[in-house]
Amino acid sequence: MPAAAKSTLPEEPPPSSPAPAAATPMMAQYLDIKAAHSDALLFYRMGDFYELFFADAEIASRALGITLTKRGRHLNEDIAMCGVPVHAADDYLQKLIAKGFRVAVCEQLEDPAEAKKRGSKSVVRRDVTRLVTPGTITEERLLDPSETSYFLSIGRTKGTAATPEMALAWIDISTGQFRLSETAPDRLLSDILRIAPREITVSESVFHDPALRPVFDTLGLAVTPLPPSLFDSASAQDRLTRFYGVNTLDGFGRFNRAELSAASGALAYVERTQISERPVLQRPQRDDAAGTLFIDAATRANLEIERTLSGSREGSLLKAVDRTVTGGGARLLAERLRSPLTDYCTINERLDSVSFFLIADDALPGQMRECLKRCPDMLRALSRLSLNRGGPRDLAAIRDGLQIANAVRELLHREELPKELLEAHEFLSSAPGVVMRDLDAALADEVPFLKRDGGFVRAGYHEELDELRALRDESRKVIAALQSSYAEETGVRSLKIKYNNVLGYFIEVTALNADALTATDEAKGRFIHRQTLASAMRFTTTELADLESRIANAADRALSIEMEIFDGLQARVIEAAESLRGAANAIAVIDVSMGLARLAESEGYCRPKVDDSRNFAVTAGRHPVVEQALRKQAANPFVANDCDLSPEGNSEQGAIWLLTGPNMGGKSTFLRQNALIAILAQMGAFVPAGSAHLGVVDRLFSRVGASDDLARGRSTFMVEMVETAAILNQAGDRSLVILDEIGRGTSTFDGLSIAWATVEHLHGENRCRTLFATHFHELTALSETLSSLHNVTMRVKEWEGDVIFLHEVGRGAADRSYGVQVAKLAGLPESVVLRARAVLDQLEAQGRDTKASKLIDDLPLFSAVARHDAPQPKSNALEQAVENLAPDDLSPREALEALYRLKDIHRGKPR
């Protein structure tokens, strides 16, 4: 049944006809609240439903696929209306948020009975308690446990040469993370993609800046412009100190004006969306962008690090390497993959942690994995509790998480641990044991989802609660005994005592047996009539009413005590937020290290040697995603290849490998696999290779494949040139560059010239480690003049006119591209393949430097038949037929027939 197909609450009738000139009190309240949140859909609470009216209802009904109704009139117009049940609101919110909507949740702030005390026409007090936006979700059902849920704020000041003018602040309300980083206009897009927020907030002036607007349009994320006053760096310190309840930020560290501006905007958005609630956020931590590998937007997309080009997680690098078993571990792995490090010391500390689990006692990894599998998501449970949206299961998650943390700590022997795991062990040791014991003592083993359901406090924890529960629960036996007594007294064996929310407890008999309760004055005095139905009558007694009162009070008082216990436990959990967060983060670190160790063991990865050199030497490297895909398809095993871009001798210049070979030979795979190996190594993971020695890469650039950017008026070739220009302008001697088919989007000579000049610039100016794949075989001649350029090729074999791809990289240059053979494999018609071979043979016979015009003249394909600017060739039959025509002697019909005859002769079908 559609969610909207129901009536609204009895305590407040919706606006009804006849339509007044002014709004009803309830509608006036709705309009006032809606005016304050005009940019969001308003979920207006009416009892057990959230209602939407007017344009909101029309939008929501289309987006959610629910029934649109009309109830009452306002200003002589029907009021459009739809609604969703409160208990299912999360599902509907998820759909709306996924479609880019913001939702203002308006709750009832008092009981309807309290409103009636002010008068029969009084309206229940309501107000918006939160704004639900893509970046501020906390509900467990709306969040992917393996993905972060950041919203990002951009701060900008005038700046100076010594002070950055822009900064980023990003917050994950669901976990309490709060970070800051400097940025600049030319790297804004790359930094945003590195953080991967779900939503962005900016000052209105920044949003409308023509220089920055293309960045927001490119991202395709929800961007919310806010008043510039919220980003004022002068008042930012006051906002931060007020939020954290401190007098000064000295204990937080020193922040520049741009960072303060971004932080102020982020906290302002938290306050705006969470209304009166305040999440427990960690103190803002600076994230040094200079300490992470710079990956520009095009490279991040081309390498399919987190998502494929189609937007799927399946087929990405992250999916291929993820062996974590906890939500926190999965999120940490994704963050590390998005932001590989450039500090080789920290990288090696992470690698030490992975090595620890590979050489540890055989039983430890298995025991640890089984332990972590049971670990709940403490950070998200903590966040919901701090926002008063938590329930008994969130308290149980904290309890169970702390128990797991204690078990993990006992499994790790402190004296054997590398630095990163030692720090994690210390955090686990400082986990609040008192909180764990309090929660364990108070909470039942199995708890309900909602605290209003009660029953989550362990029996024996609270004496009065146990007594009230006994009265409530044993009342069923009392009711059953009373029912038996009444049945015996009246002689009606089918008499039942039932309960509903309207009448409470009542006695029900069939209409045929009702006389037994109404036949005598004594019976009438004892059994009080309550309700008559078509087939039954309902009664009560003074005794039953008294029992109902005692039962109801016991249940209400028991639930009240449980609520008090919940509030006390919640307060204790929030007080211990910092130590809880430390324990949860420690578990995530252990999970990531253990998962990467499991990956290395199962896939045969090696530990890379990472240092401060310019080396890039990979032996038997493989593509992590393709290798696993081939194994799943039971195809031929992946062919491993070496790659050495290290400087030679005393040179500080990285080598350039000029890679030639046929399409489908594996050039793009080879290029990508080496870039992915660099990313894995610098995030602190083992790599798919026999061995690897990698000097830290500070910037990674990739131009592999291209597409139109029609929205910005750019052709495929223009996109290619823009990306190439970015590489040539930004790559340094520590960068790694992979380029595929530069110059193929334009004419042969233009493309060859651009590719030629690009290689020379990379060699002479950028001096970076480079893999350059090309079909311009002429470029191989550059190895004679460029000392650091080496020719390599994808090896193939020809067999009876077909080509066999070996997928091996070897020294030397390809002498042809085998395009015709690939076309045959692709299924082109045989006639096209044969014709292409003939044309290719003719071209190769005449030489690659032959003038295009001469080739056209010499090739039958480009003979005068196919050229509009040359005279049409005539066969002898056609010439003879034309000569025999006498136009002056032909009638119109004869002329038409002659024309058809000439056409047939031209086609070779003479009549």
Residue ranges of the annotated binding site for ATP are 661-668
Tokens linked to 502: 């309207």
Q: How far lies 857's CA from each of 614, 866, 868, in Å?
A: 52, 11, 13
DSSP β-bridge partners for residue 500: 504
Sheet holding 536-540, edge to edge: 496-500, 504-510, 536-540, 528-532
Tokens linked to 686: 């083992």
Comparing CA positions, the residue from 761, 763, 699, 760 lying closest to residue 731 is: 699
Tokens linked to 515: 């006389």
Q: Which alpha helices (DSSP H) does 287-443 contain, by range?
A: 297-302, 317-321, 327-338, 344-359, 363-373, 378-386, 392-411, 419-429, 433-442
CA distance 476 to 158: 73
Close Cβ partners of 715 (under 8 Å, ≥ 6 residues apart): 708, 745
Q: How far lies 478's CA from each of 472, 473, 482, 485, 597, in Å?
A: 10, 10, 6, 10, 62
Residue 326, Cα to own-chain centre: how many angstroms?
A: 17
CA distance 205 to 258: 15
CA distance 569 to 575: 10
CA distance 117 to 138: 36
DSSP β-bridge partners for residue 606: 687
Comparing CA positions, the residue from 747, 753, 692, 699 lying closest to residue 726 is: 699
CA distance 743 to 776: 9
CA distance 336 to 606: 19
CA distance 370 to 598: 13
Task: Look up tokens 């362990």; give the residue.
Answer: 458
Identify the H or E element spanning 908.
none
Q: Work out the end-to-end distance of the chain between its first and last CA atoms, rounded to an integer number of angstroms.
A: 73
Close Cβ partners of 831 (under 8 Å, ≥ 6 residues apart): none
**How many CB atoms lie under 10 A from the CB of residue 907?**
8
Q: Phi-psi bin for 323: left (phi > 0), alpha (psi -120 to 50), beta?
A: alpha
CA distance 350 to 358: 13
Q: Which alpha helices (DSSP H) does 638-792 contain, by range?
A: 667-683, 716-730, 748-761
Q: Is 381 within 8 Å of 145 (Cβ atoms)?
A: no
Comparing CA positions, the residue from 796, 807, 754, 809 lying closest to residue 779 is: 754
Binding-site residue numbers are 661-668
**How many CB atoms lie under 10 A from the CB of residue 6?**
13
Interhelix angle 463-490/542-575, rounded to 10 degrees, is 160
CA distance 293 to 289: 8
3-state secondary structure 460-474: CCCHHHHHHHHHHHH
Residue 787, Cα to own-chain centre: how many angstroms?
A: 45
Comparing CA positions, the residue from 777, 818, 776, 772 lying closest to residue 795 is: 818
Q: What one-character DSSP code corresponds to residue 766? A: I
Q: What are phi and psi of 327, to 5 degrees?
A: -65, -45
- Which residue type does 448 have? P
Interhelix angle 344-359/667-683, rounded to 10 degrees, is 90
Comparing CA positions, the residue from 360, 329, 295 lying closest to residue 700 is: 295
